[in-house]
Amino acid sequence: MTLPSVGIIMGSQSDWPTLREAALVLDDLGVAYEKRIVSAHRTPDRLWDYGVNAVDRGLQVIIAGAGGAAHLPGMMASKTRVPVIGVPVQTQALSGVDSLYSILQMPRGYPVATMAIGAAGAKNAGLMAAGILALHDAELAARLDAWRAALSASIPEEPVDE
Ligand code: RP5
């Protein structure tokens, strides 16, 4: 079995429809990942264990998504030097601006690479993770280049009436 290079973690089951966008693009690119529910508030011990063991388990990138008081990405960044990509999940009350600000404004010393709010951010998190891994994986780099070229080629030159 291929050991996962990417950990996709989220604060709740309710975040999965958003974070699945990251998983889908990693599937497209042939990148092994694992997915876990790890909540900064509801399962702090699980968060601690995940962060402490991330390097030894061979994780190279962690994608962390959460909504509202979204402390998961920042707390994970405080527990491991594995790069953390944060995905602000869109919320009902504040449209995800709460999630965005919670993830974005890290104190110096403990960075989180923060994506856009919602599904687009999750998909870009997957692509960002693949780009990091592709620095040392020529076959993945070729797949990512092809993926990007296909997206570019799919964009029509002219708009049409819908
Ligand atoms: C956060 O609280 C989670 O990341 C989720 O976005 C939000 C709401 O969680 P649920 O009440 O839907 O489980 O911790």
- Residue 41 CA: nearest ligand 1 atom is 14
Nearest CA to ligand 1 atom 14: 11
In a domain, 159, yes or no: no
CATH number at residue 63: 3.40.50.1970
CA distance 60 to 5: 5
pTM over 0.90: yes
Q: Which domain holds residue 60?
A: 6-153
Q: Is 160 within the bounds of a domain?
A: no
- Rounded average pLDDT over 58-84: 98
Domain assignment present for residue 56? The answer is yes
pLDDT of residue 1: 59
Is residue 90 included in any domain, yes or no?
A: yes
26: nearest Cα among 72, 58, 57, 60 = 60
Q: What is the pLDDT of residue 34?
A: 98
**Nearest-10 Cα torsion for 5, 11, 14, 20:** -20
Binding site annotation covers 12?
A: yes
Q: What's the domain count of the chain?
A: 1
- Residue of 10, 15, 63 best suited for mutating to test ligand 1, as the one with most atoms within 8 Å of CB: 15
Instruction: Give the tens place of pLDDT for each residue, 99-134.
Output: 999 999 999 999 999 999 999 999 999 999 999 999
Residues paired with 7 in a beta bridge = 34, 62
**Nearest Cα residue to atom 5 of ligand 1:** 67
- 22 CB-near residues (< 8 Å, 6+ apart): 8, 33, 63, 65, 87, 122, 123, 125, 126, 129
Specify the pLDDT at position 3: 84
